């Protein structure tokens, strides 16, 4: 007799793919298979989490759930009532993610976050946190009801803080912006972008960047997502992933307060804006837009005028290097050049020197593209290529304005270099920058631009090359066990590796960024001696100049960085990453 056909299992009776937390509860016999499946279906229907349905229904108490998860996943359990919410670290994870996954960041250790959760099986939460912070996650189990209260309280505290700042002492300073009849169209457009969520989001990003001591903010649109990154201590970190729909309104809002054309989205634009932080402090921002495939990328640079008034001691010059630089800038005439890549702190170094020279009896004029730091007592000119106000044109005008000190933002071409050299040769002190790798190659670079060796030798009095290295956090740095051979390969001499000093490595704590806090300058300060002048006059190579400078006691950038390692200021890997041997 043929066997009867077996009916397929009805969809309702099919087994449900339960989440890890449900399987752990069933395995621990805290919940039946059927109850777990029913709660899972209910959570999906209500678009809520399984944990919320579980504790809300009373099937398992929050304490039993936490105890079971701790045993099942081998994670420690913590009573959140013992935690002071005011002492929790800020700005490590955005509140939106914390609310979405019901998690609280408790602390940071090395490159890992200690995060409280009720569901350690939630891989989506772990991956989201890893992606947002670029750090690993170590779970700590907490009771769901206490966790929910802390997440909401944390979000409320952050919101109240931001609202109080935005409402009173934190606002865009538009009083200093000139208005004209041509602004009417922009004002009409401004009304379209006065979207409260967009305004609050922008305020929060600027505030977070300021408190995290970021140097730049990047707003980057892509096809399916939008991200915000901060450059903190020289490294870019993803901070937020707002909805992609916000990109146009956010770009328009930034362009309105930066006095840009909001109707023009096809070409790059530059602008500036001011922000009041407290009743007496105003921070300047330089804004740059760039059309990309999926919208305008916007980079905002924070220009803190106080950085130029910190004094030369705060920049990280060693005593001998500082003495050489001060001696050069106090001379009545000649040219001082600061070299290095973009973002190496050249502008701050130049303005620190200008601050030392800025006295009532000294006439100082600067030409920059654009002026980044406002300094009272200094005549600052913004270069405008379209209007014909080039560096060379500005320099020619300066020479008719009875100057004592001239600062040129960058020597880009032969015409600018020629005028700057003539100014240095005729009784003026000229400060400027060049993009070269180190001090000796600066002289050959000027030669390649077409400047005669005699003019270089008779005008340049000092060149300083610089890099910025991350500074080790004083609170958590630890001794590093570095092999003897590695130290020698890095550039130390045999007699320097004598065991009398200890290199340090980054560790990481709640007060720093992966073991680093702030940055320190690495400098090669090379005065132009008579012997170096002779090498220049006979058109010698940069290698000859470097060898002569070393014989005169000038440290190379690598040697200067290695000295900072000996002092425990930075790590060996940081120096190796930003200098050449």
| Shared-domain flag, residues 399 and 452 | yes
pLDDT digits (tens, 9 = 90+) for 61-91: 888 888 888 888 888 888 888 888 777 887 6
**Cβ burial, residue 572 (10 Å; 0-12/13-18/19+):** buried
| Shared-domain flag, residues 421 and 458 | yes
Given a contact cutoff of 8 angstroms between Cβ atoms, the answer to whether 433 and 410 are in contact is yes
Query: What is the extent of the structural domain holding 325?
Result: 307-467+522-554
CATH number, residue 270: 3.30.450.90
Residue 501 resides in a domain: no
Confidence of residue 193 (pLDDT cuts 50, 70, 90): very low
| Shared-domain flag, residues 326 and 415 | yes
| Shared-domain flag, residues 86 and 104 | yes
CATH number, residue 74: 3.30.300.160
Checking if the pLDDT of 341 tops 70, the result is yes
CA distance readout (Å), 512 to 90, 233, 345, 574: 11, 10, 21, 16
pLDDT digits (tens, 9 = 90+) for 369-388: 877 777 888 999 988 887 88
Place of tokens 């070393």: 550
User: What letters, b where the CB count within 10 A reaches 16 and e where it falls short, cover 195-212?
Assistant: eeebbebbbbbbbbbbeb
pLDDT digits (tens, 9 = 90+) for 458-493: 999 999 999 989 999 888 889 998 888 889 998 898
How many whole angstroms separate alpha carbon 127 and alpha carbon 132? Answer: 9
Select from 241, 272, 303 the last residue of a domain: 303
**Cβ burial, residue 127 (10 Å; 0-12/13-18/19+):** exposed
Checking if the pLDDT of 436 tops 70, the result is yes
Given a contact cutoff of 8 angstroms between Cβ atoms, the answer to whether 373 and 347 are in contact is yes
The distance from CA 574 to its chain's CA centroid, rounded to whole angstroms, is 16
| Shared-domain flag, residues 280 and 419 | no
Given a contact cutoff of 8 angstroms between Cβ atoms, the answer to whether 172 and 206 are in contact is no
| Shared-domain flag, residues 241 and 361 | no
Q: Which two tokens stand for residue 90?
A: 């800020």
Confidence of residue 309 (pLDDT cuts 50, 70, 90): low
DSSP codes of every residue in 185-241? HHHHHHHHT--HHHHHHHHHHHHHHHHTTEEEEEEEE-SS-EEEEEEETTEEEEEE-
How many whole angstroms separate alpha carbon 294 and alpha carbon 73? Answer: 43
How many whole angstroms separate alpha carbon 307 and alpha carbon 355? Answer: 11
| Shared-domain flag, residues 403 and 448 | yes
| Shared-domain flag, residues 201 and 313 | no
Confidence of residue 163 (pLDDT cuts 50, 70, 90): very low
Checking if the pLDDT of 38 tops 50, the result is yes
| Shared-domain flag, residues 318 and 289 | no
| Shared-domain flag, residues 371 and 299 | no
| Shared-domain flag, residues 384 and 450 | yes
Residue 481 resides in a domain: no
pLDDT for position 465:
94
Q: Which two tokens stand for residue 369?
A: 């593209």
Residue 187 resides in a domain: no
How many whole angstroms separate alpha carbon 370 and alpha carbon 372? Answer: 6
| Count of domains observed in the chain | 3
Taking residues 174-195, what's their average pLDDT?
A: 44
CATH number, residue 330: 3.40.50.300
Select from 284, 303, 322 the last residue of a domain: 303
pLDDT for position 371:
79
Paired sense of beta strands 136-141 and 112-117, if any: parallel
| Shared-domain flag, residues 297 and 311 | no
């Amino acid at each position: 007799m043929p066997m009867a056909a077996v009916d397929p299992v009805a969809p309702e009776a099919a087994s449900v793919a339960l989440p890890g937390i449900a399987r752990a509860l069933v395995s621990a016999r805290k919940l039946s298979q059927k109850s777990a499946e029913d709660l899972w279906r209910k959570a999906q229907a209500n678009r809520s989490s399984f944990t919320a349905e579980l504790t809300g229904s009373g099937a398992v108490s929050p304490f039993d759930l936490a105890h079971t998860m701790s045993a099942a996943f081998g994670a420690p359990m913590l009573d959140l009532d013992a935690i002071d919410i005011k002492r929790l670290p800020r700005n490590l994870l955005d509140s939106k993610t914390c609310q979405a996954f019901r998690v609280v960041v408790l602390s940071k250790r090395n490159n890992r976050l200690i995060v409280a959760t009720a569901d350690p099986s939630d891989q989506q939460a772990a991956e989201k946190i890893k992606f947002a912070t670029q750090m690993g996650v170590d779970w700590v189990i907490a009771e769901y009801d206490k966790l929910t209260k802390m997440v909401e309280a944390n979000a409320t505290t952050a919101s109240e803080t931001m609202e109080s700042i935005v409402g009173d002492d934190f606002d865009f300073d538009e009083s200093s912006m000139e208005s004209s009849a041509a602004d009417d169209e922009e004002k009409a457009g401004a009304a379209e972008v006065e979207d409260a969520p967009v305004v609050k989001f922008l305020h929060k990003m600027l505030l977070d960047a300021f408190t995290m001591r970021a140097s730049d903010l990047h707003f980057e649109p892509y096809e399916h997502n939008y991200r915000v990154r901060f450059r903190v201590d020289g490294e870019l970190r993803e901070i937020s992933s707002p909805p992609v729909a916000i990109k146009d309104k956010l770009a328009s809002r930034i362009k309105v307060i930066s006095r840009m054309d909001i109707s023009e989205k096809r070409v790059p634009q530059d602008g500036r804006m001011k922000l009041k932080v407290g009743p007496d402090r105003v921070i300047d921002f330089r804004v740059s837009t760039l059309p990309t495939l999926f919208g305008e990328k916007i980079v905002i640079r924070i220009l803190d005028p106080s950085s130029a008034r910190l004094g030369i001691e705060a920049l990280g010059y060693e005593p001998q290097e500082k003495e050489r630089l001060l001696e050069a800038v106090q001379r009545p005439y000649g040219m001082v050049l600061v070299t290095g890549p973009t973002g190496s702190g050249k502008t701050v170094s130049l303005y620190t020197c200008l601050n030392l020279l800025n006295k009532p009896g000294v006439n100082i004029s600067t030409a920059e593209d654009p002026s980044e730091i406002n300094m009272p007592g200094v005549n600052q000119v913004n270069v405008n290529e379209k209007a014909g106000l080039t560096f060379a044109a500005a320099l020619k005008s300066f020479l008719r304005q009875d100057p004592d000190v001239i600062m040129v933002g960058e020597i880009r071409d032969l015409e600018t270099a020629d005028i700057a050299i003539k100014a240095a040769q005729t009784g003026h002190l000229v400060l400027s920058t060049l993009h070269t790798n180190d001090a000796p190659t600066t002289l050959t670079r000027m030669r390649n631009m077409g400047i005669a060796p005699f003019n270089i030798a008779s005008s340049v009095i000092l060149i300083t090359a610089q890099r910025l290295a991350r500074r080790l956090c004083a609170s958590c740095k630890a001794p590093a066990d570095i092999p003897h051979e590695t130290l020698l390969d890095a550039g130390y001499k045999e007699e320097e590796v004598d065991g009398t000093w200890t290199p340090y490595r980054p560790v990481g704590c709640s007060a720093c960024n992966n073991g680093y806090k702030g940055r320190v300058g690495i400098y090669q300060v090379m005065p132009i001696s008579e012997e170096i002048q002779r090498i220049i006059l006979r058109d010698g190579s940069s290698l000859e100049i470097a060898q002569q400078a070393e014989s005169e006691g000038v440290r190379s950038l690598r040697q200067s960085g290695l000295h900072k390692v000996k002092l425990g200021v930075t790590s060996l890997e940081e120096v190796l990453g930003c200098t050449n041997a």
